Structure 1
Amino acid sequence: RMSVRCLKCSLWLLCLLTVTMLWYLNLPSYTVIENLNWMYFYEYEPINHSEFAFTLRERVTCSEQDPFLVILVTSRPADVKARQAIRVTWGAKQSWWGQEVLTYFLLGHQMEPEDNMLALSVQDESTLYGDIIRQDFIDTYYNLTLKTIMAFRWVTEFCPTAKYVMKADSDVFINTGNLVKYLLTYNQSENFFMGYPLIENFSNREIFKKTYISYQEYPFKVFPPYCSGLGYVLSRDLVLRVYEMMAHVKPIRFEDVYVGITLSILKVDIHLPKSNDLFFLYRIGFNTCKFKRLIAAHSYSPEELIQYWQFMQKESSC
């Protein structure tokens, strides 16, 4: 009986392997383009990015006063805990060093209806906090680029007077005061783009990996210089120019690379701070002094955001 079962399993695996091989062999072949030319992605006729309507866009204060910094956080509808953690930690205070800082969350619509018995609905959050920006596309990992386009559109249409804009992930610890202080000290209000730089990052062709991208979607071996989507900062003029350029550049699945492509077409370089301890791509262990010096660190749970923020408020010196 065991041998029959093993034989069936072997035949099943053989069939699966055969189907996979046939599928792979029948994939259309694409030539890797060796010479980098970012104009490859440029379309002379505008591509319409405005087909998605805002279903929530919030009561903004930009028309009343000019915020120094607007932080736009990508978030899934179900991530209520992450949004609440940000609201009581680095996103709680609206004034740093005498400068106004506003924080909003970027959402799409979830595929399944919300279970109102389990958590606060997005509509309820919007009513309570007034910090949700949402369009009517489905909220998935590969729609992050649509979310970023939405962010740039929202700033362009509803908050064009913000001096700086930061796009960040919801699992990022941000030292908001340090960020504002750095921007005030550096004081570059034009062509400013800063984050965790990724230079000569290779495109991944392993089909079952999360970072896979096809030759058809991206024919080059190397990505343009870009900043990780964990958190990057742009000056006002650059946000407006990038959004205008986005109308001519077809989206790809990785939003941070997509922004890098538009900036490469615009011939904008990444600002590289003298210190390497400001942006952290990967999770680092908590250290009060290190966290007081950084701007953004990636991959923390809502509970950790709250705990680390409280530790920082208690410790007055390093």
Structure 2
Amino acid sequence: MFMNCRRVRKLTFLQLVSMCCILSVLVVCWDNVDHHVVSHVKSYSYRYLINSYDFIKKSLSVSPEEAARFGSFPYLFNNKNICKDQDVLLLLFVKSSPGNFKRRQDIRSTWGNESYISNELGVVVKVVFAMGLPPDMPSQSILQNALYKEHMNHGDLVQQKFLDTFHNLTLKLLLQFRWTHENCAHARFLMSADDDVFIHAPNLVHYLQDLSRQNVRDLWIGHMHRGAPPIRRMNSKYYMSFEMYQWNSYPDYTAGAGYVVSGDVAAKIYQASQSLNASMYIDDVFMGICAISAGVSPQEHVYFSGEGKTPYHPCIYEKMITSHGHEDDVRYLWKVATAPEVEGISSGLLGKLYCTAVKIMLLCKPHFSNTYSCLAAFT
């Protein structure tokens, strides 16, 4: 009896200590936890109103003359004939910074190799790199000279006269849709991607070919963000002031790292952008606002990545479309992801069971990187 009482007291003491530790952490972190949880709950409950009514469009509408200020920068490098007289399945715009020469070359040698895509996959995909001016003024002329040589060698740079900075990403989005409207409106699909994104070109092409045969319209696919709240912390990179955006929730949108729209949607987004205030510098959110104005809704695709890298495994490669955060390993990933042994790895009952088990272990555990959802393990 004495021993039991001692054990009970010891257990109670440990429980009290544990509870005190938890309460201490909550007291220290409560402001951040409370703000994060409450803002997301409020935002998601507000989501239906944002996506169903046009008050955002009305609040951000401007005259065509004012809207033109955001997208009328002169071209410094351009090649208007990239798509001329070609049956383009996909126009792939890569958002690149002027100094990222190696990333662009890696892309041209791997998933953005137009000759490979034409010869091996039998379709026309045009890859274009979109950028502004180097923001570092002392080295701007040196970089521009190097870019001129690159443009003369490859003919795939499109550059406008605005500073290439984070807060000008929406200008880059306007550049993509304006250039497409003027020079490649007949492309069946348009894709926008960052230059640190890996794209499994064969999987993407086969997927788009199937959609093209179905004559799909109103298509906008990617990694969806639903009911995301504006960040009001002034020290955040994604800070959004009430003056710029007064609502508690953003419209649904896809991650700007990589998404695809059909040609008709590209035309609608361009037209919508001609009457909206593009000072909204978070480009993927602005895309969502344009889409609401155009009556277009995003769709989730489980093999489009968010902000994080996808796990490295043949069972993942077999169906992957995009993976984000690849600055130095694009050539390696291209080699292993397109290796012959990847094809059909999940064929047959045993193959399906094996890959499902592997993907459950890789994708269904708690993690903080925004890659594929657990749902991808079962598709």
Equivalences for residues 113-192 of structure 1 within 5 A? 113-114=138-139, 121-186=146-211, 187-192=214-219
Q: Which residue of 2 aligns with 1:28?
A: none
Q: Which residue of 2 aligns with 1:70?
A: 91
- Report which structure shows greater RCO (CA 8 Å, sep ≥6): 1
Alpha-carbon distance between aligned partners in 2 of 1:146 and 1:171, rounded to the nearest angstrom: 19
CA-CA distance at 1:272 after TM superposition: 3.2
Alpha-carbon distance between aligned partners in 2 of 1:174 and 1:105, rounded to the nearest angstrom: 15
1:281 equivalent to 2:307? Answer: yes
Tell me the SS of whatever aligns to 1:285. coil
- Flag structure 2 segments of 5+ consecutive residues without an equivalent: 1-42, 346-379
* 1:266 aligned residue (254, 269, 294): 294
Alpha-carbon distance between aligned partners in 1 of 2:145 and 2:202, rounded to the nearest angstrom: 29
CA-CA distance at 1:209 after TM superposition: 0.8
Alpha-carbon distance between aligned partners in 1 of 2:81 and 2:271, rounded to the nearest angstrom: 22
Answer 1 or 2: which has greater helix percent.
2
Alignment check: 8 A CA contact 2:78 2:159 kept = yes
Alpha-carbon distance between aligned partners in 1 of 2:185 and 2:144, rounded to the nearest angstrom: 33
Alignment check: 8 A CA contact 1:175 1:292 kept = no
Q: Which residue of 1 aligns with 2:261?
A: 234
CA-CA distance at 1:300 after TM superposition: 1.1
- Flag structure 1 segments of 5+ consecutive residues without an equivalent: 1-31
* 2:235 aligned residue (176, 198, 208): 208
Equivalences for residues 105-116 of structure 1 within 5 A? 105-111=129-135, 112-114=137-139
Alpha-carbon distance between aligned partners in 2 of 1:143 and 1:119, rounded to the nearest angstrom: 19
1:43 equivalent to 2:62? Answer: yes
Structure 2 residue identity aligned to 1:260: G
Instruction: Calculate the TM-score normalised by the size of structure 2.
Output: 0.70
Q: Which residue of 1 aligns with 2:377?
A: none
Q: Which residue of 2 aligns with 1:310?
A: 335
Alpha-carbon distance between aligned partners in 2 of 1:264 and 1:294, rounded to the nearest angstrom: 28
Q: Which residue of 1 aligns with 2:126?
A: 102
Alpha-carbon distance between aligned partners in 1 of 2:294 and 2:338, rounded to the nearest angstrom: 41
Structure 1 residue identity aligned to 2:290: T
Alpha-carbon distance between aligned partners in 2 of 1:194 and 1:167, rounded to the nearest angstrom: 11
Alpha-carbon distance between aligned partners in 1 of 2:158 and 2:199, rounded to the nearest angstrom: 20
Q: Percent identity?
A: 27
Instruction: Calculate the TM-score normalised by the size of structure 1.
Output: 0.83
Alpha-carbon distance between aligned partners in 2 of 1:193 and 1:247, rounded to the nearest angstrom: 19
What RMSD over aligned residues (CA atoms) do the two structures have, in Å? 2.2
CA-CA distance at 1:38 after TM superposition: 2.0
Tell me the SS of whatever aligns to 1:218. coil
Alignment CA distance shift 1:233-1:212 (3 Å)? same
Alpha-carbon distance between aligned partners in 2 of 1:196 and 1:179, rounded to the nearest angstrom: 15
CA-CA distance at 1:238 after TM superposition: 1.2
Alignment CA distance shift 1:189-1:56 (3 Å)? farther
Alignment check: 8 A CA contact 2:223 2:259 kept = yes
Alpha-carbon distance between aligned partners in 1 of 2:143 and 2:286, rounded to the nearest angstrom: 35
Alpha-carbon distance between aligned partners in 1 of 2:128 and 2:181, rounded to the nearest angstrom: 15
CA-CA distance at 1:116 after TM superposition: 8.2
CA-CA distance at 1:58 after TM superposition: 1.9
Q: Which residue of 1 aligns with 2:371?
A: none
Structure 1 residue identity aligned to 2:74: A
Alignment check: 8 A CA contact 2:133 2:140 kept = no
Alignment check: 8 A CA contact 1:80 1:120 kept = no
Greater shift after overlay, 93-102 or 288-297?
A: 93-102
1:253 equivalent to 2:281? Answer: yes
Alpha-carbon distance between aligned partners in 2 of 1:70 and 1:78, rounded to the nearest angstrom: 23
Structure 1 residue identity aligned to 2:202: G
